[in-house]
Chains A and B, each alone.
Chain A
Amino acid sequence: MKLVRKRLLQLVLVLFLLSLLTFTLMKLAPGDPVLLILEADEMSVTQADEAKLRKELGFDQPLLLQYGQWLQKLLQFDFGHSYIKGKPVWDEMIDRLPTTVQLTAGGLLVMVLIAAPLGLLAAKYPGRWPDQMSRLLALIGASIPSFWLGLLLIYAFAFKLQWVPTNGKGSFSHMILPSVTLGFAMAAVYARLLRAGLLESLSQEYIRAARARGIAEWRILLRHALRAALLPVVTIFGMSIGSLLTGSVVVETLFSWPGLGSMAVEAIFQRDYPIIQGYVLLTGIFVVLVNLLVDLCYGLLDPRIRYGKGDWS
């Protein structure tokens, strides 16, 4: 419990720094929401109209004051309103969240389906062809940019073979390509991690003892070695959640998947600051919370590092 309390305190601190940083960076970044709100590209707007709106939005006030006002509202759980849509930021995020979670889950499933067998095979036959294949795949997975992989998949499976649709969200088949795009790059990393973890634990004393007792090799691998090997995997997984949520930006745009990622991209193009801030904060909360969960999971996987009183560092 002490761990949880201390971590929650850390969370608040991290989020505070994060919000300050985003706020400053956004104000420094080029782009003018006022012109976009007024649709100056379409409407006969005067510079006086602009000045008026700038004042209404409080853009004429000192930066620190603007930040303070935003923070004050935030403490009352008010994320503000989107400049462009006028909708509360919170509602917009809650609308989009399930869609992103769905895609993330699809990506994770693909990742596990590829990484688990590949990692196990590679550890079972180190240096032989399954191992080499997994190494090759890891190299490919780590080097292909996801927008390119997505386009290749669309080219092959939607354009040439015409098995699945390119676009949108609806049926199960709509999920295949974006999930594979998202899951493939991660699978490469995890397969190698799993292999390394397995080889490491296979060299341990207790495994040799198990072998001496004549327990079947597969059983040792799955029941004894795997548990210890999952430790580093889980650590990396905590970090992956963050990159999954943000990495989906590219995939969501490509497959026109209406999740948080594409919301953030739209908001950035439109300089819709409240949405961008809300998005950064939300992903920040996720990353910190997942890392907390990961730390708690350690104890379950390896009783030796179960946290005692205060010795959790």
Chain B
Amino acid sequence: MSRSDAAGQSNINTKDGLKKVTVIRNFKSGSLDPHNSWEPLRAGVVETLVRLNEDLELVPWLATNWETSDDQTWVFTIREGVTFQDGTKLDAAAVKASFERGLAASDVLARALKIESMEASGQQLTIVTTEPHPALPSELVNPYAAVISVEAEQKMGTTAFNHAPVGTGPFKVKQFTPNIEIQLERYDGYWDGKAKVNEVLYQFNEDGNVRALALQAKEADIVYQIPAETVEAVQQDSQLRVESVAGLRVHYLLYNQQKPLLQDIRVRKAIDLLLNRESIASDIMLGHATPANGPFNARLPFGSKEAVQQLDPGEAKKLLMEAGYVPGESGKLEKDGQPLTLQLITYKGRPELPLIAQLLQSDAAKIGVDIKIQTVENVDTYLRENKDWDLVTYSNLSAPRGDGGYFLNSALMPGGSLNPINLSSDKLSQLVIRLNATSEIAQRIQLTRDAVDVINQEVPHSYAVYPNLIVGVNNRVINWKPGAEEYYIITNQMDVK
């Protein structure tokens, strides 16, 4: 019995003229409801009006352009010559119907888009938002905002539709087995040129070792998030390669400014100088991370261009002495006879975070700063319910849709869901409020950069590294690279040798 018989399909052989690619993702999906699952977009079944390009900038997709007159009224021009996989034409009315379904199906989407009303006329879609919402184009990148054929849903019924949604993408769903796999086949009428491969098998498996073995067995061509320790073994196989790209997440330290000790900016800066970003990236993350110089990946248009802060214990000690700490008899820094002891919270959800905590602890000890590490089960609950901590190792997506507004609002504005201690800075708030009212992209980028400058001056957080996305790829796959955004996986361009 050969494996192809066993698996019921062959991925590798192209003898029959068919080109097939097998992809394994690290998270499961039990439904393909495009307004409640990201997978239809990732699998190339549906598309959105606006997308991110390789440099993570907003570019037109199903909409060719958009403009706003008063920040509440937006006019999107829908691309001509696009058809859904059931053959119907894409126009503004179809997009409107799709959004209406999305707003009803997903509370999260409704909250993100803030749509008051819509009007469709030919290829022109006018959207009026409930409040000035300059970030609307960026929110439309959200996979939940994918455009689907509501007409097809009415014909098929919602249950069947959520197993095989009809969109405008290069691939259509042939068969879906919830939580196991999606079998995709090429949609020949795709507007941007039909796909180079005929079929794609898009599987799910949550076990990293099994995914890596499937790649090594040549059963899969593209495997997401292979465990860092398997990278070497994969690289030793000349038929395979590992793509490691800086993602949109940032690992960082958050300071508890509700405590007087950390209200002193010199103390925060001193700890910032003790954070060995290079070592975290190379030794802890085994090279699969980039040292951070701000909340946003430096590759992003609004990412900081400043140099990464190097480890500098001498300067850190100087700052602490300026803040009134002097070496005591034991060699530890003290103020009024009290040693400088910091309580650092960490959690195991991301295994590298406790290691970052330990590295900081050891570098701090060298200049006489005592850091006590405490591991907690659920960090969000802990931070909200306890106020006795000084530092925490934290990790969040900082720009999930190629825009800085999300992180600035959630993590650095009072009341934000990622801001458990209600940080607030007048200087920063003014910038964020201006950003929230600005729609012009160049201006938004400038304001976000200005905000990052303020953050780097005031040091409410210390950004450590941007962890990489590690993807194992069989060399037979060409014209394909994982994107940092993890939104567009199956494309019409991907090909096999």
The chain A residues found within 8 Å of chain B, CB to CB, are: 30-32, 35, 38-50, 85, 95, 151, 154-155, 158-159, 162-171, 173-174, 253-256, 258, 262, 266
Does chain A have a CB within 8 A of B252?
A: no
9 contacts between A and B (CB under 8 A): A40-B410, A43-B112, A45-B410, A165-B6, A167-B24, A167-B219, A169-B180, A170-B180, A258-B178
CB pair A256–B7 under 8 Å, yes or no, is: no
List CB contacts (< 8 Å) of B264-291 with chain A: none
- Stretch of B77-85, B376-384, B474-482 at the chain-chain interface: B376-384
CB pair A32–B380 under 8 Å, yes or no, is: yes
- Stretch of B188-196, B209-217, B321-329 at the chain-chain interface: B209-217
**Cα–Cα distance between A40 and B108 once the two chains are bound (Å):** 10
Does chain A have a CB within 8 A of B15?
A: no
Which residues of the other chain, B, contact A50 by a CB distance below 8 angstroms?
417
**Cα–Cα distance between A246 and B111 once the two chains are bound (Å):** 38
Which residues of the other chain, B, contact A154 by a CB distance below 8 angstroms?
210, 213
CB pair A44–B416 under 8 Å, yes or no, is: yes
CB pair A30–B219 under 8 Å, yes or no, is: no
CB pair A168–B180 under 8 Å, yes or no, is: yes
CB pair A158–B417 under 8 Å, yes or no, is: no
Q: Mark B159-189, 1 if CB is under 8 A from A, else 0.
A: 0000000000000000001111100000000
Q: How far is the CB of A274 from chain B (nearest CB, A)?
A: 15
Q: How far is the CB of B36 from chain A (nearest CB, A)?
A: 8
**Cα–Cα distance between A171 and B180 once the two chains are bound (Å):** 13
Excluding A38-B417, A173-B1, 8 further A-B contacts by CB distance (< 8 Å) are A41-B396, A158-B217, A158-B219, A159-B213, A162-B219, A166-B219, A170-B7, A255-B210
Q: How far is the CB of A251 from chain B (nearest CB, A)?
A: 11
**Cα–Cα distance between A46 and B413 once the two chains are bound (Å):** 9
- Stretch of B39-47, B120-128, B200-208, B239-247 at the chain-chain interface: B200-208
Which residues of the other chain, A, contact B204 by a CB distance below 8 angstroms?
256
Which residues of the other chain, A, contact B380 by a CB distance below 8 angstroms?
32, 35
Which single residue of chain A is at the shortest CB-CB distance from B33? A85
CB pair B213–A168 under 8 Å, yes or no, is: no
Does chain A have a CB within 8 A of B314?
A: no
Which single residue of chain B is at the shortest CB-CB distance from A161? B3
CB pair B219–A169 under 8 Å, yes or no, is: no
CB pair A40–B180 under 8 Å, yes or no, is: no
CB pair B6–A171 under 8 Å, yes or no, is: yes
Q: Identify which of B1, B5, B177 contacts A258 (C-beta below 8 A).
A: B177
Which residues of the other chain, B, contact A32 by a CB distance below 8 angstroms?
378, 380-381
CB pair A46–B417 under 8 Å, yes or no, is: yes
**Cα–Cα distance between A166 and B6 once the two chains are bound (Å):** 10
With A151-B210, A166-B217, A170-B8 known as contacts, the answer to whether A43 contacts B416 (CB < 8 A) is: no
CB pair A258–B179 under 8 Å, yes or no, is: yes
Q: How far is the CB of B394 from chain A (nearest CB, A)?
A: 12
Which residues of the other chain, A, contact B206 by a CB distance below 8 angstroms?
253, 256, 262
CB pair A31–B378 under 8 Å, yes or no, is: yes
Which residues of the other chain, A, contact B302 by a CB distance below 8 angstroms?
none
Does chain A have a CB within 8 A of B441?
A: no
CB pair A171–B7 under 8 Å, yes or no, is: yes
**Cα–Cα distance between A49 and B112 once the two chains are bound (Å):** 12
Which single residue of chain B is at the shortest CB-CB distance from A82? B30
Does chain A have a CB within 8 A of B342?
A: no
The chain B residues found within 8 Å of chain A, CB to CB, are: 1-3, 5-8, 24, 28, 30-31, 36, 108, 111-112, 177-181, 203-207, 209-210, 213-214, 216-217, 219-220, 376-378, 380-382, 396-397, 400, 405-406, 409-410, 415-419
Which residues of the other chain, A, contact B396 by a CB distance below 8 angstroms?
41
With A41-B396, A43-B112, A167-B214 known as contacts, the answer to whether A35 contacts B180 (CB < 8 A) is: no
Which residues of the other chain, B, contact A258 by a CB distance below 8 angstroms?
28, 30, 177-180
CB pair B177–A170 under 8 Å, yes or no, is: yes
Q: Identify which of B111, B203, B377, B381 contacts A256 (C-beta below 8 A).
A: B203
**Cα–Cα distance between A32 and B219 once the two chains are bound (Å):** 38
With A41-B397, A44-B410 known as contacts, the answer to whether A30 contacts B378 (CB < 8 A) is: yes
Which single residue of chain A is at the shortest CB-CB distance from B407? A44
Which residues of the other chain, A, contact B417 by a CB distance below 8 angstroms?
35, 38, 40, 44-47, 49-50
CB pair A40–B418 under 8 Å, yes or no, is: yes
With A31-B381, A39-B108, A49-B111 known as contacts, the answer to whether A173 contacts B28 (CB < 8 A) is: no
**Cα–Cα distance between A35 and B409 once the two chains are bound (Å):** 16
Q: Identify which of B30, B210, B406 contacts A85 (C-beta below 8 A).
A: B30
Which single residue of chain A is at the shortest CB-CB distance from B395? A41
Which residues of the other chain, A, contact B405 by a CB distance below 8 angstroms?
44
CB pair A159–B217 under 8 Å, yes or no, is: yes
**Cα–Cα distance between A166 and B214 once the two chains are bound (Å):** 7
Q: How far is the CB of B303 from chain A (nearest CB, A)?
A: 19
**Cα–Cα distance between A204 and B177 once the two chains are bound (Å):** 54
Which residues of the other chain, B, contact A169 by a CB distance below 8 angstroms?
177, 180
CB pair B205–A167 under 8 Å, yes or no, is: yes
CB pair A158–B213 under 8 Å, yes or no, is: yes
**Cα–Cα distance between A303 and B200 once the two chains are bound (Å):** 60
Q: How far is the CB of B412 from chain A (nearest CB, A)?
A: 12
Q: Identify which of B3, B31, B397, B406 contacts A162 (C-beta below 8 A).
A: B3
CB pair A42–B397 under 8 Å, yes or no, is: yes
Which residues of the other chain, A, contact B112 by a CB distance below 8 angstroms?
43-44
Which residues of the other chain, A, contact B24 by a CB distance below 8 angstroms?
167
Which residues of the other chain, B, contact A174 by a CB distance below 8 angstroms?
7
CB pair A254–B203 under 8 Å, yes or no, is: no
**Cα–Cα distance between A43 and B403 once the two chains are bound (Å):** 12
**Cα–Cα distance between A85 and B36 once the two chains are bound (Å):** 8
CB pair A168–B178 under 8 Å, yes or no, is: no
**Cα–Cα distance between A154 and B3 once the two chains are bound (Å):** 13
**Cα–Cα distance between A168 and B178 once the two chains are bound (Å):** 10
CB pair B415–A48 under 8 Å, yes or no, is: yes
Which residues of the other chain, B, contact A171 by a CB distance below 8 angstroms?
6-8
Which single residue of chain A is at the shortest CB-CB distance from B24? A167
Q: How far is the CB of B107 from chain A (nearest CB, A)?
A: 8
